[in-house]
Each structure stands twice: as C-alpha cells, then as structure tokens.
Amino acid sequence: MPDDSLLDLAEYISEKLGSSVIDHKFEKDELVLYVKPDDIIKTLQFLRDDRECDFTTLIDITAVDYTNRAERFDVVYSMLSLRQNSRARVKISIEDEQIIPTAVGAFSSALWYEREVWDMYGIPFADNPDLRRILTDYGFEGHPQRKDFPLTGYVELRYDDELKRVVYEPVELTQDFRDFDYLSPWEGMTDVQLPGDEKGAIPPHGWHGVNDDKEILDKSQKNGGEDSVSN
C-alpha cells in the first residue's frame, strides 16, 4: 500500500489535470498515470513545473507492444523528482502508426529516447528535430522490438571483397541452425543422470543412481571388503 503522501499526490494531479488523466494506479510504490495521447506534453510540463510534483528529470521513454489490442502500443515516460524523492510513470496508449507529439521541448533528453523508440518500435514523434535510427545500422529493415518482427530478421549483412563494402542480403539460414533436440546439454555425461534430467533417456551402459552406490558399499563392508565397488 503506498504511503499517504503518494496517495495525496495522485489525487492532486488528477484534480489539476482533470480529464487529461484517464486513470492512475500504484505499482511497487510508484505512481502510474494513464493519460490521453493528445495531452501528453501538457501533462509532462505540469509534472515538471508544479511545485507539488517537481518531476524535473525525464529518466527514459520506452514502449510496450500489445499485438492483440486495437491500441497496440503503450508509450511509457519514466520521471524522477529529486526534491520529493519519488518516481512516476506516465503511459499513453496509441494505435499502430499513430503520430504523437515530441517531448523535446519539455525535456531535451527526450531527443535520444524518442529516436530509440522509433528505431525499436517504429512509433513516430511529430516535430522531433532528428528522428532517425540510433541502435540499428543504416538501411536496416523493420523494427526489432515489435512482437511480429521475425527472430532471424529480414536481411543479413556481410563484407563483399569485390565491391569493397558491406552489402545486405535476404536472410538464408540452413536447417542445421533450426534443429533443436531440447535434451540436456550434459548429454556427454553418459555414466550418470543428473537430477532434473529425467526428460532424457537413461544411458544404456554404466548408469547407476545414488542409492545403488550405498547398497554396493554396505554389501562390500559386510563381506569384509572383499567385494570391489563397481562403477
């Protein structure tokens, strides 16, 4: 349960911003605000400038992809108030290819964060002065953090000795790299079965359990140590 100061802050923000705040909740003692996409800049500026809030630091902007929703993406703004010693997250839900306003005018750090969201998810930000890829290479196709992006990607690159440059080609993976037996990686240990490896086949030769060792040792001691302990 959040403390009283955080509860009061949530009520204060909801009252001041009115219909701009759709809902709010608390996750791990942090305030989470759900805001209308068109009012995101208004909300960020209020949280920055109001003395009761004082969230002067924009820590990060990221996104979450929900492919089964009409509003496919959640864009999440993480904010920090050093004076209040508290954090808040502001979330907006948008459709695929929906354009949202840039937060660069409110927080200069948003420039790089929005470039990353664009690169990874393909979410466009209106009026961002330098909206281009930041993590992937030039000519990269698609956006890697989308749930429908193939794990093998669309293209692969290599250095061409004849052209003397890097070239892009369609992904061609042989079937050898797609075969998995899903057995234990310790398959080379053929004389013992580790706990949890019951899914694999028991080695046909030389295998024995822990209880078998104890019975063999007890039998050997009763016979005066004449019997050897077999592996």
How far apart (Å, rounded) are the C-alpha atoms in residues 132 and 113? 11
Which CATH number covers residue 8? Answer: 3.30.460.80
Contact between 101 and 125 under an 8 Å Cβ cutoff? The reply is: yes
pLDDT tens readout for residues 120-161: 999 999 999 999 999 988 778 889 999 988 887 888 888 899
pLDDT at residue 201 above 90?
A: no
Q: In the prediction, which pLDDT does 229 show?
A: 46
Q: Same structural domain for residues 129 and 189?
A: no
Q: How many domains does the chain have?
A: 2
pLDDT at 203: 57
**Location of structure tokens 């208004």:** 42
Indicate if 31 and 125 belong to the same structural domain. Answer: yes
Last residue in a domain, options 102, 134, 166: 134
pLDDT digits (tens, 9 = 90+) for 41-89: 999 999 999 999 999 999 999 999 999 999 999 999 999 999 888 999 9
Q: Which domain holds residue 226?
A: 185-231
Q: Which amino acid is at 95?
A: E
Q: Which pTM does this prediction carry? A: 0.71
Q: Assign 214 a pLDDT band (cuts: 50, 70, 90).
A: low
Give the angle 59-64-42 at the CA atoms, nearest 5°: 55
Which of these three, 105, 134, 163, is where a domain ends?
A: 134
**Looking at the domain assignment, is residue 165 inside a domain?**
no
pLDDT tens digits, 151-164: 878 888 888 999 99
Within 10 angstroms of residue 110's Cβ, the number of other Cβ atoms is: 21
The count of other CB atoms within 10 Å of the CB of residue 52 is 12
**Unique residue bearing structure tokens 């010693």:** 85
Mode of pairing for the β-strands spanning 21-27 and 30-35 = antiparallel
**Three-state secondary structure call for residue 94:** strand
Q: Kindly report the three-state secondary structure assignment for every residue of 18-61.
A: HHHEEEEEEECCEEEEEECHHHHHHHHHHHHHCCCCCCCEEEEE
Rounded to the nearest integer, the mean pLDDT of the chain is 83
Closest CA to 98 of 40, 151, 153, 154: 40
222, containing H or E segment: helix 210-222
Task: Name the pLDDT band for 231 (thresholds 50, 70, 90).
Answer: very low
Does a structural domain hold residue 176? no
